[in-house]
Structure 1
Amino acid sequence: MFEKFTADARAVVRDAAEQAGRTGSGTVGEPELLLALLDRKGSPAATALGALGVHKRRESVAEALAAVRRRGGISTADAAALAGLGIDVDEIVARVEQAHGVGALAADGAPGRRKRARRPFTAEAKSVLERALRIAAGRGERRLGDEHLLMALTARPGPAAAVLAEHGVTFADVLRVVGEGGKPVERRGRRNLS
């Protein structure tokens, strides 16, 4: 599978594993892939994220991804919807963490878990890689670049897509910017984020 990846895409996968190590995660998931994309410079995905104004808000994106992980994958929008039903997700997380430790609901399992040199990819992250391959093939491109990983992260619901949507970036925005070679995007009804 990785033989079809460009050097930029391979670097994202490698950097995502390093992100997992820095965040204390036992697995590599969508948040780590997105953080790795945000750390890229000069690649097609980096150009697209810059044009969409996401690079300027990296810290906000990283904080939102950490919050989603802490809530066991529940996005801010989902937490707000549950609050409308009288369910306080933050209170539930606080109680679970009080009983079981900080990070108990994180998608990779129990806190304090022994760190491994190799971190496995979650099923969701594997799905992103497979979807990126399909996107590249569907666009008639022979190699999978980091821009395909960015498209795949935003193409389906998941933690990365939810956080990017909270920051005003959708799959349609990513497609438009990648198709325009990374030029800043003017969006109808929304302010330009570049």
Structure 2
Amino acid sequence: MFERFTDDARSVVGRAGQEAARLGHGRIGSEHLLLAVVAMPRDPSAAVLVEAGLDHAAVRRAVLRLRGGADDAEALAAIGVDLDAVREAVESAFGEGALDARPEEAGAGRRGWFRSDPKGGRVPFTPPAKKVLELSLRESLRLKSGHIAVGHLLLGVVREGDGLGARIIADHGLDAAAVRRAVDVTLS
């Protein structure tokens, strides 16, 4: 299935894992996929949410409110240390993922998107996140796209409906059907 993903959609899936890890969450949920989508505000589908005020910072606050985590980040922020700025500085100096586990520490021999290594390898997906990925394929087929783009992932988050990603969209006061229609337009 992942061979159908555009480069940007693959980036979203990878970033979702990074977002989960940064928040100290052991599994990638639909909320992390949503966080990764809105981290790409130039994508027309992500812009649907960003223009409605649901940007990366808003989604991150909602995830922290609903799931908790990042206690250390909040404590450091209280004394003026911005961990995201530190990560960006380190990655700009040493390359993307410089603070992530080394491949030999992360179980490099394991393959597949849904597998993980208890010693710090790939973060596994929650059942709702797996459903989002499946639904993104169905959305791509429905729209006869031939590929899975960022918008298809967002449609999967909205269509899944029970995960925290859909809840965050609804809690922000956005109508799921209206979001679907707007994203459909960006994909046509």
**TM-score relative to the length of structure 1:** 0.65
Would you say how many aligned residue pairs link Structure 1 and Structure 2?
138
After alignment, is 40-49 or 4-13 more displaced? 40-49
AA aligned opposite 2:162: P
Give the distance between the partners of 1:3 and 1:45, measured in 2 at CA. 21
Shift of 1:38: 1.4
Give the distance between the partners of 1:62 and 1:22, measured in 2 at CA. 11
Q: Could you tell me whether the CA contact under 8 Å between 1:151 and 1:171 is conserved in 2?
A: no
Identity %: 37
AA aligned opposite 1:169: L
Shift of 1:51: 3.2
Shift of 1:30: 1.1
**TM-score relative to the length of structure 2:** 0.67
AA aligned opposite 1:117: G
Shift of 1:171: 2.2
In the other structure, the counterpart of 2:47 is 47
In the other structure, the counterpart of 2:165 is 160
Give the distance between the partners of 2:28 and 2:128, measured in 1 at CA. 9
In the other structure, the counterpart of 2:73 is none
Q: Could you tell me whether the CA contact under 8 Å between 1:5 and 1:145 is conserved in 2?
A: yes
In the other structure, the counterpart of 1:64 is 62
CA distance 1:60–1:42, shift in 2 (3 Å): closer
Q: Could you tell me whether the CA contact under 8 Å between 2:128 and 2:162 is conserved in 1?
A: no
**What are the within-5 Å matches in structure 2 for residues 83-122 of structure 1?**
116-122=120-126
Unaligned runs of 5+ in 2: 70-117
Give the distance between the partners of 1:28 and 1:116, measured in 2 at CA. 13
